[in-house]
Structure 1
Amino acid sequence: MTETDDRRRLSGLMIGSLVALSMGTVFVVVNSAALPSPWRLVIRVAAVLVAVTLLALVIRAERAGAPSEEGDIQGFADRRYWYAVLFEVVALFGGLYVINGVLKKPEVAVAWVAVVVGLHFFPLAWAWRMPLYYGVGGAMAVLGVAGFVAYAAGASAATIGLIAGVGSGFALYIAVVAGLRDNRARRVAAAAR
């Protein structure tokens, strides 16, 4: 593939960042709804500003040319990716059915979502050789568990949403920052060769 052809396709940095920024913003906006004013608006505006700024940085990095990626990573065509997605869908909706329908505890649903989404990053980190995903997955899983602990301690739904939901959104933003930093380091290393 020529360098021109390589630049026409979206890099892993761009695709991963678009997913992380959109999902991070959804986590923040949805899970800040129960917060009192002015915090709800402050957190939402901050999230959108962070997401837009990071998107601009990702686009700039993409235009600079992503460093070449390691050979045999198949991305979305990899069956391991689909196994991770299958696990995520079954665990997510099965758990939400139990939490909302059986236990009638919708205030902890976001904690469950954070745990499951966090755990789905682990097989992806392994399959795609992306150590960064272990960090974001671990952070989200811990934030989800912290949401369950907060619930057990008598915290309000707003507090659980802040911990597990808003926290997970910002964890995804931090993952984009880490991806940009890694991309820059690889570009500098490639230029030094």
Structure 2
Amino acid sequence: MIHIADTDAMTRTQTGRLIGGIFGFFFIMANAGALPEAVAIPTRMLGVAAFLALVLALRRTRGEQPVTDGGGADFGRNYRYVVAAEVVVGAAGLVVINPVLHAAQATVGWIALVVGLHFFGLAAVWRRPSLCWLAAAMSVCGAVGLVLGAYGSSAAVIALIAGIAPGAMLLGSVLVKRRA
């Protein structure tokens, strides 16, 4: 007997990993430009290699049972609430950071903080406690980047701490299969 729910769960899990990988990839690509060219080029190359490794890993896992520490990736109403809150809070912060506080360099930290915090919501919605580690690590990087931006640190330091590090964490987390 074929269980459609099992197939759907794998598809949702793969979709969740791919979405995470895409965002991690873009975190790296967008922020590598702030680094010196001798560091930016290899950083981008590593980002491309990691993303391609994810795509290949997802292709190899077709038809396998999902391996998680709880529920699967469900993109229903609760997921949409978490993402909507992320977008609203993120946009509100950008409205304050840029035109009001005139601290554009802090936006990288703000984005990483909001994305990190949204993983706490996803951990609850998807019943995936392991996401709390990613949420905490990304949130710390974002908070540190926000503080560094507020105090006028260099764009390269902020990009490394609040952009590339969270991107690497996100991309790395979806490359690793979670075991129950």
Compared CA separation, residues 72 and 34, structure 1 to 2 (3 A) = closer
**Kindly tell me: are residues 70 and 118 of structure 1, through their superposed partners in 2, closer, same or farther at Cα, counting changes over 3 Å?**
closer
Q: Deviations over 1:20-44 (max 9, x none)?
A: 1111111001011111111111100
1:131 matched to 2:100? The reply is no
The one-character-per-residue Cα deviations of 1:131-180 (angstroms, maximum 9, x if unpaired) are: 122111111101101212333554201110111000111010121133x1
In 2, Cα distance between the equivalents of 1:124 and 1:15? 14
Counterpart for residue 92 of structure 2:
94
Structure 1 gap ranges (5+): 187-193
RMSD, aligned α-carbons: 2.6
Indicate conservation of the 8 Å contact 1:144/1:164, yes or no: yes
For 2:61, the equivalent position in structure 1 comes to: 61
The higher radius of gyration belongs to: 1
Task: Identify unmatched segments of 5+ residues in structure 2.
Answer: none
The answer (yes or no) to whether the contact 1:132–1:175 under 8 Å persists in 2 is no
1:171 — aligned with what? 169
1:105-130: per-residue Cα shift (whole Å, max 9, x none)?
11110100001011111121111111
Q: 1:48 to 1:74 in 2, by over 3 A?
A: closer
Mark the CA change 1:38 to 1:119 in structure 2 (over 3 Å): closer, same or farther.
same
Aligned to 1:143: 141
Which piece of structure 1 moves more, 145-154 or 21-30? 145-154
SS at match of 1:75: coil
Instruction: Give yes or no for contact 2:25–2:47 (8 Å, CA) kept in 1.
Output: yes
Structure 1 residues 71 and 152: CA distance shift in structure 2, 3 A: closer
1:32 paired residue number: 32
TM-score, length-scaled by structure 1: 0.82
> Displacement, 1:46?
0.6
- Asked whether the equivalents of residues 14 and 59 of structure 1 are also in contact (C-alpha less than 8 Å), the reply is no
Equivalent residue letter for 2:35: L
Q: Normalised by the size of structure 2, how large is the TM-score?
A: 0.88
Q: Distance in 2 between matches of 1:74 and 1:46?
A: 27
1:103-142 maps to which residues of 2 (within 5 A)?
A: 103-142=101-140
- Aligned CA distance change for structure 1 residues 2 and 83 (closer, same or farther; 3 Å): same
Note closer, same or farther for the CA distance 1:73–1:21 as it changes in structure 2 (3 Å cut). closer
Letter in 1 for 2:46: A
| Greater helix share, structure number | 1
Percentage of matched positions with identical amino acids: 36
SS of residue paired to 1:66? coil
Q: Distance in 2 between matches of 1:72 and 1:38?
A: 42
CA distance in 1, matches of 2:117, 2:71: 24
Which whole-Å CA distance do the structure 2 matches of 1:114 and 1:74 have between them?
21
How many corresponding residue pairs? 180
State the partner residue of 1:15.
15
8 Å Cα contact 1:115-1:145 kept in structure 2: yes
- Structure 1 residues 159 and 6: CA distance shift in structure 2, 3 A: same
